[in-house]
């Protein structure tokens, strides 16, 4: 059993920790609300890209390497983890999902976030590191990642690119998702691409450059949406973790307070009994 001084120290320490966690919780909640107000993404944008590609006709779009590649390996697996703490469970779910995607020893990783990089270094997995998602720079990070992927893909270093991320559903719910980035998911165009174009379509400067430009826009938009959703999921997961820690610390403090007052009362009772015993002995 802890001594009275130990209980008093624990109560004082936990009260300070309680205030720190509460401040972190409020700060995270404000971050989440502010980031949600950006409302990134336009659902019509991918559909418009599909519409333009469909007008080119199947005989044109299937010849571009960004749209079709027979081999699927080697592939690169992009996994989005965090730079900050209080996200251990979420990071491990993301890392586990990314590891399951590896098919051959030639497959490589691109890891966003310090937490994921520490794990992959420990496992001695080769990977390319990029900083974690930031609220103010996620668009520039999406462009940088797009350039990496398209360059490696067109150079023949990889034949497929997929991404593993946490999709934000609500403050209390997130889902680990895996999505193909390259080659462009042709399944999205099924039923929308005409077998043959009925009218002549003039394209400038060329079909190839138009397709490449559209796929670049699609990839940048998709990555922007993914990074945005991933950051929301990260903030929501941190908020829930801090709230759970706050509740657990409150429970521990209540238990410590009961033990402390129980010890104080026991000590006071002991002193009163000793005082009465001493008075009775003096009278005798």
Q: What is the pLDDT of residues 189-241, one digit of tens each?
A: 554 444 444 556 666 777 777 778 888 888 888 888 898 999 899 899 888 88
> What are the backbone dihedrals phi and psi of residue 104, each rounded to the nearest 5 degrees, phi first?
-135, 160
Name the range with the highest mean pLDDT among 12-16, 31-35, 61-65, 69-73.
31-35
- Rounded to whole angstroms, the Cα distance separating 236 from 168 reads 8
Q: Which helix (H) or strand (E) holds 228?
A: helix 207-283
Q: Sheet with 108-112: list strands edge to edge.
A: 127-130, 108-112, 75-80, 160-170, 173-182
Q: Which residue has the higher pLDDT, 84 or 282?
A: 84
| Phi, psi (degrees; rounded to nearest 5) at 136 | -95, -15
* The pair of three-digit structure tokens given for residue 132, joined into one six-digit string: 């974690």
Q: Is the dihedral of CA 140, 148, 73, 60 positive or negative?
A: positive
Local structure of residue 132 (DSSP, 8 states): P
More confident residue, 208 or 167: 167
Q: What is the pLDDT of residues 7-40, one digit of tens each?
A: 776 777 777 777 888 888 888 888 888 887 876 6
- Best-predicted range by mean pLDDT among 6-15, 42-51, 115-124, 205-214? 115-124
Distance, CA of 271 to CA of 284 (rounded, Å): 20
Least confident of 63-77, 83-97, 133-147: 63-77
**CATH class belonging to 41-239:** alpha beta
Q: In the structure encoding, which two tokens stand for residue 153, read together?
A: 């893909």
Residue 202 backbone phi and psi in degrees, to 5: -95, 125
* pLDDT of 56 strictly over 60: yes
3-11 contacts, C-beta under 8 A, 24 or more apart: 3/263, 4/260, 4/263, 4/264, 4/267, 7/256, 7/259, 7/260, 7/263, 8/260, 10/256, 11/253, 11/256, 11/257, 11/260
Stated pTM of the model: 0.78
The structure tokens listed for 69 are 């590649």
Across all residues in the chain, what is the average pLDDT? 80
Looking at residue 189, its pLDDT comes to 52
pLDDT at 193: 47
Start-to-end C-alpha separation, the chain: 37
Cα gap 129→148, rounded to integer Å = 12
């Amino acid at each position: 059993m802890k001594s009275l001084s130990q209980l008093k120290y624990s109560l004082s320490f936990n009260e300070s920790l309680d205030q720190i966690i509460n401040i972190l919780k409020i700060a995270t909640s404000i971050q989440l609300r502010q980031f949600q107000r950006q409302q990134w993404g336009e659902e019509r944008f991918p559909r418009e890209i599909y519409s333009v590609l469909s007008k080119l006709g199947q005989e044109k779009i299937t010849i571009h390497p960004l749209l079709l590649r027979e081999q699927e390996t080697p592939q690169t697996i992009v996994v989005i983890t965090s730079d900050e703490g209080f996200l251990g469970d979420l990071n491990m779910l993301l890392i586990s999902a990314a590891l399951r995607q590896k098919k051959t020893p030639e497959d490589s990783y691109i890891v966003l976030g310090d937490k994921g990089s520490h794990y992959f270094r420990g496992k001695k997995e080769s990977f390319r590191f990029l900083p974690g998602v930031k609220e103010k720079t996620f668009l520039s990070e999406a462009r940088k990642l797009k350039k990496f992927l398209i360059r490696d893909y067109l150079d023949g270093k990889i034949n497929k690119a997929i991404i593993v991320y946490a999709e934000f559903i609500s403050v209390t719910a997130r889902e680990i998702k895996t999505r193909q980035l390259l080659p462009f998911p042709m399944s999205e165009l099924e039923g929308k691409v005409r077998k043959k174009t009925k009218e002549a379509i003039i394209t400038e400067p060329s079909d190839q450059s138009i397709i490449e430009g559209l796929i670049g826009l699609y990839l940048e938009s998709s990555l922007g949406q993914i990074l945005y959703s991933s950051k929301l999921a990260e903030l929501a997961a941190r908020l829930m973790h801090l709230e759970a820690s706050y509740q657990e610390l409150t429970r521990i403090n209540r238990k410590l307070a009961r033990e402390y007052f129980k010890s104080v009362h026991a000590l006071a009772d002991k002193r009163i009994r000793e005082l009465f015993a001493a008075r009775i002995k003096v009278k005798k």
